[in-house]
Amino acid sequence: QARNLELGNWCFFSRELELRMVSERQMELELRHAIANDELRLYFQPRHRARDLELGGMEALVRWQHPRLGLIGPGDFIQLAERSGQIVALGTWVLEEACSQARHFGAPLFVSVNLSAEQFRRPGLVAQVRSVLEEAGLPAGRLELEITESMMLDDAQGALETLKGLSELGVRLSMDDFGTGYSSLSYLGRYPFNTLKIDRSFVAQLKEGSNLAVVRAIIQLGHALSMTVTAEGVETAEQLELLRSLGCDELQGFYLGHPRPIENLHELGLRASK
Ligand code: C2E
Ligand code: MG
Ligand code: MG
Ligand code: MG
């Protein structure tokens, strides 16, 4: 056990070092190349209805298939994309690709897409989403946009207008990583969010008698505001059963399915009719 852990740590640090040895400037140039040259990939993670475990939709999660470094997760390049002003191009790629691939899921499955703060702040997002949906031929009701609490902070009025515009298109909106941000609860009721995604840190601590009250309260809060409540990071059967018994509506996590490329969607019993 200890040996495994050490090995795990070693792999982790060596990976970090490898990524760090490439200078920021070089990574920036390589990322620019990646966006233009088809090195980005979307992985899709299933979101299941808690009641009967039916598949409801998928979350699109971006990866970078780097020619030298292999598959890189968003934790290792989203911030670089933000610092270097490439996040809008990257976000546009993700949105277009996710909507066009979602058509292959078949109705009524939805796709959810993570937005970054910069994308959300930019004027013209509503018009962009409308035209991407049209281009892809995807009904607005099958797209959900995931927004984090911290994105509400700088310009609450602007955020409200953007959210209203998106909501009027018929797009669903979710509050991602709920409970980890710093913003006040007051916006939740006023803003048109459809879904509340409980951050996986709450789910990870979810054991009989511990943290149960907090998760129950979050679920009740969501329901009181007529929101669908989704739990992220479900890794065990025990967590699944507890969340179900607390009335959580939707579940997502490694126990139900890892993120995977669209080619592997048949593992979920879907045809990827590419
Ligand atoms: P997120 O939106 O909260 O996405 C969920 C993350 O949790 C994913 O990591 C997913 O692989 C991971 N996860 C899912 N189930 C489990 C589980 O059972 N256990 C554990 N330990 N982890 C689980 P990933 O793909 O590395 O993405 C990390 C974050 O990067 C995302 O967090 C999201 O904030 C951001 N991100 C991903 N794709 C995009 C994108 O296209 N645009 C933007 N702006 N951000 C993205
Ligand atoms: Mg998300
Ligand atoms: Mg999340
Ligand atoms: Mg999270």
Out of 45-54, 199-208, 264-273, pick the least confident. Answer: 264-273
pLDDT in tens, 177-210: 998 877 678 788 889 999 999 999 999 988 766 7
Of all protein residues, whose CA lies closest to atom 5 belonging to ligand 1?
232
Is the CB–ligand 1 distance for residue 75 below 6 Å? Answer: yes
DSSP one-letter string for 92-150: HHHHHHHHHHHGGG-TT-EEEEEPPHHHHHSTTHHHHHHHHHHHHT--GGGEEEEEEGG
Q: How far is CA 6 from CA 12, 17, 48, in A?
A: 10, 16, 35
How confident is the model over 202-254, as pLDDT tens digits? 999 887 667 899 999 999 999 999 999 999 999 999 999 999 999 999 999 99
Ligand 1 and 86: CB distance under 6 A: no
Helix (H/G/I), strand (E/B), else coil: 1: coil
Cβ of residue 199 lying under 6 Å from some atom of ligand 1: no
| Helix H or strand E segment including 153 | none
Q: Report residue 137 CA to chain centroid gap.
A: 22
- What residue owns the CA closest to ligand 1's atom 34? 114
177, 183, 188, 193 alpha-carbon torsion, rounded to 10°: -40
| pLDDT recorded at residue 122 | 93
Read off the pTM: 0.91
Whether 99 and 133 have beta carbons less than 8 Å apart is answered as: yes
CA of 136 to the centre of ligand 1 (A): 24
| Bond from prior residue into 108 cis (ω within 30 degrees of 0) | yes
- pLDDT 10s digits, 56-92: 999 999 999 999 889 999 999 999 999 999 999 999 9
ipTM value of the model? 0.97
10 Å Cβ neighbour count for 13? 10
| Cα 2 to averaged position of ligand 3 atoms, centre (Å) | 30
Q: Which ligand is nearest to the CA of 45?
A: 1
85: left (phi over 0), alpha (psi -120 to 50) or beta: left
Amino acid in position 256: L
| DSSP string of 52-67, one letter each residue | T--EEEEEEEEEEEET
Ligand having the closest approach to the CA of 252: 1
